[in-house]
Amino acid sequence: MRKIWIPVSIAALAAADQLLKRWAQSALSGGRVHTFGGLFALRYVRNTGAAFSLLSAHTGLLSAFSAAMILACLAFLLFGKARGRLADIALTMVCAGGIGNLIDRIRLGYVTDYIEPLFVQFAVFNFADILITVGAILLVVWLALDARRGKRTPAASGEDAAQ
């Protein structure tokens, strides 16, 4: 079942990202902005860089790095290097978000961003960025839990041997 839901989830999330970006291009082009209670605004932005427009002049480098990270995530997912549902979910999200932004970079030469927080000074971002960020946070949580489990197991077996 795992071998089915992972690629289906990646494809569905990347497709949702592309649909949202196409909606943003059509609904928000020409400088139109929609605000939501002073918390968020929807505003169309072309981002040639990575987070916070870093490396804006290096779209090719960003594309190559994104492709390498996507391949690494897929390798971990498909060849069973990640253990557990949390790792699967985290890597699926990172992979889908990376694919969504890579499609933009290859197809358009930039990434379409459209979510702007108004309550804090922050970059405009998109659904793929949310997937990557949440997936990365979940991956850190998984790594911490996995390390904690690893430390408990030898200690527990050592205590058992001493008794």
Which residues are marked as active site?
113, 129
| DSSP assigned state of 125 | B
Strand pairing partners for 113? 45
| DSSP assigned state of 56 | T
Strand pairing partners for 77? none
List % helix, strand, coil for the chain (3-state, nearest 5).
Answer: 70, 10, 20
